[in-house]
Structure 1
Amino acid sequence: MKVLSAQDVRRAVPMSTAIDAVRDAFRELAAGNFVLPPRQIFGDGSVLVMSAYHTPTGSAVVKKIGIALDEVPAIRATVIWTGAGDQLVADGGSITTLRTGAVVGVATDLLAPADASRLALIGTGAQAPDQVRGVLAVRPIADVIVTGRSADHARALSKTLADEFPEVKFTPGTDIDDAIADADIVCCATSSTAPLFSADALPGRVHVNAIGAFRPTMRELPRDLFATASTVLVDQQEAALEESGEIIDAVDSGTLQRTDLVELGPALSTPPASTGRTVFKSVGIGPQDWAIAAALARA
């Protein structure tokens, strides 16, 4: 049995490898090669259990997550993976942030303008750095504005990322509308329960990723954004309709129809419209964890 720390995960699976692995996993999901039970939710979302079984290889992953948004770190998780005589137990917090950054990289590569150079990041928590890493892996980003409620946290994260990516300009701030006004790509990674901005604050041509709201009571995106988007991409329709507060609100209000939601797996074979405004909303599903764990098992 392999037992892997957060540092082990980072050393074994760089972001480019994670993006390729997650992209392949979504293709496998679209092909019907996963058994994917519904996520189990306990304590009003404070404990989650996710699993996935890959039928061609007979391998499986189970992840237990404890979430406390008022603590640091907010996510504490463990991943168990079994397959072909191998078994590993790994730090689930690092896998969660890595696979979430990777799926944003996959979606951004699919929908964002090829010449996108300006990224606005909203949020400075544990998920935020991998959002930037995922986007930088697929687009020629030159400028990143890092925004958060705390100016000190925005400055600290900007410095950390600037040290990692010295060729990119990082600017900290707290004004979201100012940050997104000229953005080509926006990444939202917060625990907000209310929309972070209005659609009017966005450019007419922009790709928006939102990964922070994972409960029906949470919302990062405004309803009017969905009304103006050419494509609304989700990791899985069923999961989005059960867990994403902004998707539930948009469907309940009639702003979106269920049939408007495009799943990522099929979209990789039949790309949707990528003009004007596009949105990717992720709540995270088991095949993403399976993808990273399988890559760790091969490493």
Structure 2
Amino acid sequence: MKTITLSAEDIREAVTMAEAIDAVRRGFIDLARNEFEMPTRTVLRDGQFLVMSAHHQSSATAMIKTLGVNFDRDPAIAGTVVWSELGRLDHLVADAGPVTMLRTGAAVGVATDLLAVPEASRLTVIGAGAQAPDQVRAVHSVRPLSRLIVLDADSRRAQKLITTLAPELAGVELQIATDTEAAVREAEIVCCATTATSPLFRASALPAEVHVNAIGAFRPTMRELPDDLLSTSTVVIDQLDAILAESGEIIHALDSGALAKDDLTELGAALTSPRPPAGPGGRTVFKTVGVAAQDWAIAQLLAAKFLPVTSS
């Protein structure tokens, strides 16, 4: 039996964002086709410890991820991803931090490619923590950017993000903002990656046509988006059971009557529909709390690259 252990550097060198987006897209399609056994994740200590698992039935492969979450550090998450394949003894253990950042970014790339207008090129990112670089990379992969605005409560983090991404964004106008509503006023795509417990902006601050990705709030007590944005947009989610258990903004909107469950479309269903959803006001929202099929998709890529080929 051989255990392959992958560091953050190994993962980053092995997987491009374009590969991650393609893999996660296939994962969501397989999720819609009931290819996965995927329990709702186990949440301990009010979200400070998380356990996620997925079994891909047709390939007889499985992934288990364990995380510790501490917002007093950056990156906030630390843990492991373990990949197994039925019938073989070798398995793979990977640093969960970069896997989670890649799969979250990739999901945003999939949703943005589906929902944002083809010519969209102006992105505003709210929240410049560890998840933010892959949010930008994913959007840039599917909608090449002309302008990036970054806003964070800590202007030093915003500047660090700009400095980190500048070599990858040649020719893109890079700005740091301090006023949230001004930062989103002319955006064509908005990515929210914060730990907010109340909406970050009013719906009226957004353009009439905009795509919003919300990835930060993953507990019922957290909330990035206002009810009136959700009630006037096409809302696409990662997976219904996970969203109803964990998404503060969706739970709040359902409880207030701003949304009904029938207003929510899972991303896998949207990808396999002959006609992708269209927003009544030209606004679309992708809300994700993260599901294990995404982690499985990245782990599958890593297994294909690092585990020895067998004849079985």
Would you call these one fold, judging by a TM-score over 0.5?
yes
1:74 aligned partner: 76
Determine the structure 2 residue equivalent to 1:61.
63
Name the SS of the counterpart of 1:132 in structure 2: helix
Structure 1 unmatched ranges of 5 or more? none
Confirm whether residue 272 of structure 1 aligns to residue 277 of structure 2.
yes
Q: Could you give the per-residue CA deviations for residues 113-147 of structure 1, whole angstroms, max 9, x where no partner exists?
A: 10001000000100000000010000021100010
What SS does the corresponding residue of 2:142 show, helix, strand or coil?
coil
Question: 2:230 aligned with 1:226, yes or no?
Answer: yes
User: Which residue pairs with 1:243 in the alignment?
Assistant: 246
Mapped to 2, the partners of 1:36 and 1:152 lie a distance apart of: 39
The Cα shift of 1:166 comes to 1.7
Q: Does 1:289 align with 2:295?
A: yes
Worse-superposed segment, 148-157 or 11-20: 148-157
Deviation at 1:170, TM superposition (A): 1.3
Task: State whether residues 150 and 174 of structure 1, in contact with CA within 8 Å, keep that contact through their aligned partners in structure 2.
Answer: no
1:200 alignment counterpart: 204
Q: Retained in 2: the 8 A contact 1:161–1:170?
A: no
- Pick which of 166-175 and 14-23 moved more: 166-175
Give the letter for the 2:215 counterpart.
I
Does residue 145 of structure 1 match 2:149? yes
Q: Is the 8 A contact 1:162 1:169 kept in 2?
A: no
Q: Give the CA RMSD over aligned residues.
A: 0.9
Percent of aligned pairs with the same amino acid: 56
8 Å Cα contact 1:47/1:64 also seen in 2: yes
Residue 40 (structure 1) aligned with residue 46 (structure 2): no
Q: CA deviation at 1:274?
A: 4.8
**CA offset digits 1:223-262 (Å, max 9, x no partner):** 1101211x10000011111100000000011100011100
For 2:163, which of 153, 159, 165 is the aligned residue?
A: 159
The aligned residue for residue 102 of structure 2 is: 98
- 2:40/2:241 contact within 8 Å kept: no
**Is the CA contact 1:33–1:55 (under 8 Å) kept in the aligned structure 2?**
yes
Equivalents in 2 of 1:174, 1:148: separation in Å? 7
Q: So what's the TM-score if we normalise by structure 1?
A: 0.98
In 2, Cα distance between equivalents of 1:291 and 1:15: 13
Paired residue secondary structure (1:215): coil
What corresponds to 2:309 in structure 1?
none
Residue 121 (structure 1) aligned with residue 125 (structure 2):
yes
Deviates more, 1:13-22 or 1:163-172: 163-172
Cα distance in 1 for residues equivalent to 2:248 and 2:80: 26
CA distance in 2, matches of 1:157, 1:73: 13
8 A Cα contact 2:223 2:248, kept in partner = yes
Is the 8 Å Cα contact of residues 177 and 197 (structure 1) preserved in structure 2? yes
Deviation at 1:102, TM superposition (A): 0.1
Instruction: Give me the TM-score of the superposition, normalised by structure 2.
Output: 0.94
User: What residue is the counterpart of 1:50 in the other structure?
Assistant: 52
Distance 1:218 1:294 in 2: 31
Report how many residues are paired. Answer: 298
Task: Find the counterpart in structure 2 of residue 213 from structure 1.
Answer: 217
Task: Give 1:13 deviation, angstroms.
Answer: 0.7
Residues 118 and 143, structure 1, Cα contact 8 Å, conserved in 2: yes
Give the superposition deviation at 1:38. 1.5
CA distance in 2, matches of 1:250, 1:199: 14
For structure 2, the 5+ residue unaligned runs are 306-312
Secondary structure of 1:82's match? strand
Distance 2:266 2:167 in 1: 35
SS at match of 1:137: helix
Match of 2:194 among 172, 178, 190: 190
Compute the displacement of 1:92 (Å): 0.2
